[in-house]
Structure 1
Amino acid sequence: MHIHASLRFPRRLVDRRLLLSLSLAGFFVVHSTHAASFDCSKATTAIEHAICDNETLSQLDSTLNEKYQTAMANLSDEGASELRKNQRSWLKERDACNADAACLENLFNQRKSSLQATTQQAETQLDAIIASIPADPANAAYQLKQYRGPLASAWLVYLNRFEPTSGVTAEEAKQRHQVAVTALNKQNDFAASLLKDIENDPKTSKNVAVLTFLRMTIEQGRYDEVPPRPDVHCFVFSRQGDAAYRAFGALWGSSRDSQAPICPPQGNLFELPAWKQLNKILDPVMSAAYPNSGTIRYASYADWAILRLRATLSPTDFLKPIEGQSQESPEKRISEWDDKSWPKVQREQLLIAIDPARKATMEWLQTERKFTASDASKASTAIVNAWLNEQLDYLSENLSTGDQ
């Protein structure tokens, strides 16, 4: 498993995160109160006391605040102004309950549904604008400027960097960068701290830094919920290439990588029988390695997802060596593996399955991507080798005894 050096998180950040989690754990053990959207120790009105004294109401109040903030972040200036007026009217309805718990609970549940519907509608409209960026960056920029939330702001930073015809100025990008970073600090201070390190790292290109900033903002945007928000950002991979693959791949080295907004493969290459056979043969040894892998396995999963996307969306990348990918012969590594950790019979089955996978990939590239026979042969070998080497790296790190 490979994590690009410029995107490795510093040890001091890991230590800081651990200390923070321990201190917060202690806090919540000592101070077990109902979690409303406000400080219950400062409650003064009958409504506030009713909320703080009732766990259900406290949780609903906190949920409503989160849903209100989410809706506001996805609305245009006009929509946000309308929602603020609507919220003031609703607060009057809330106060009219006169601290009656049943009345408040019913009203809170109605408001939760209303805010959720508002958020979904707002997200749909915002996503449509984002999806239009490749076709008309200038018009997309004009519409995004009507929004003040972090996601719209991050996309304006993207437009300034990669779409000069969008008309987004450097000063506008600077201001919007601060908007999104401020929101990220509130939502996920560890992510904000890591982003700062990445942006200040001279080894990280400006393109990768901007795309990592975009990726972190997208990760806060409910794209991993059910039903999932559509992956309208997928065009960045074809338009920005290597920088996008680096920025959206393994970053956290933990379960956080399971939320990486990586788009699915473009086509059915990895659904072909030859590829399914490779996976089937590898499954027993991969399962044996799983118990030792810990949460860092999610970083491997992210790397594999990036490889599948890149192989199907940008297969011409594999006509030359890709920085960071192993150039070792997977056949040699498999043949020399320790018999105790990986039975020879399984390895021999895998070796037999490699050529069919290369042949199937070559044919797919010629049919689906219109490669010449020569280029298809070269790229198919590189794709299969890269895929196998990533699996072998994972096994080497997580089997009790691996290759040396």
Structure 2
Amino acid sequence: MLIYTLVLIGILILAYFLFVNFNPSFGGDVSDERKQQYASSKQFGEGIFKNTEDVPKDPSFSELLTMTRKFFFSSVENGRPGQNLSVEKIDSTSIADYTSQTRLIWFGHSSFLLQINSKNILIDPMLGDVPAPHPWLGGSRFNKELPIAIEKLPKIDAVLISHDHYDHLDYESIQKLKDKVGKFYVPLGVGVHLESWNVPKDAIMEMDWWQDTYFDDLQFVCTPAQHFSGRKFNNRQSTLWSSWVILSESERIFFSGDSGYSPHFKEIGNIYGPFDFAMLECGQYNKMWPDIHMFPEETAQAGLDVKAKTIMPIHWGAFKLALHSWTDPIERVSKKARELQIHMISPKIGEPIILGNLNNESEHWWEQPNNP
């Protein structure tokens, strides 16, 4: 029996090794030379990136087994919509020819198309069906169709990426996008994945927290988040994670990326706020990992912290990555936003978000019969 067990373990290790090394979706690895370059970052030490607070704690083996068992074997009532979510469609001509007020198109989860100052900017463009290195390893998207297919997108001037997890950085999406993108802006280390997927080095700019750069008449600031990184077992924390500030001459936009609640929101708000619009993580939370994802009530509070005039909850409405119902995030954050008297919108996937017209409350589309 012991021999059979050891043989089985050996086969599993070999299978994992082959899978990781021959599947390009895992991305690249940070070399020792690059680690030396990152040594000047305040977030880098002992060969990995770290949060300002001492989180997340590495779970014990028993805790890891408990989380795995609960995630894969727990039944979650209303964990997915009863049918595919409908989306509002948008055609490529209306995007390519758009020169009016700043607007965003939500693709679900944390993916956006931002059209500002006659530029097309994608934010965390996970436009694939399954947030995993293989379709068998994850659940599919709640909506079969996207507002627009990747192939029909016009030229993309810039892409902002918050971190390297599969629900934010997708191999298939990058493969379809890379030849139409002018520049990728990413946190330190994330460029290794793009380079392994044949994105030219001169099309990638890696940035540290609080570093800023200008893209024509726009300013991008790589700002803190409280999260973690890694695309396989042996490269956790090898790349940095971030939020993003986008500034034009007349507008201020904040994108939280993935983050637990921490003082960095107030710090960002004090330096770059008030924001006209803030896209804030709200989904995939659990008491087993409270430091790396916000609970909905914390999302609303973070909106106050960054001094946002209007907030939009994101990181929900597309994938089941936690043990709450699919509508729990939006129901709870809506209630808390009302209590805190902060203006919140919750547009349907694909519905245009016009920054100059955010005064009206969005309909509760997730409660409608065609979106149960």
Relative to the length of structure 2, the TM-score reads: 0.22
Task: Give 1 or 2: higher strand fraction.
Answer: 2
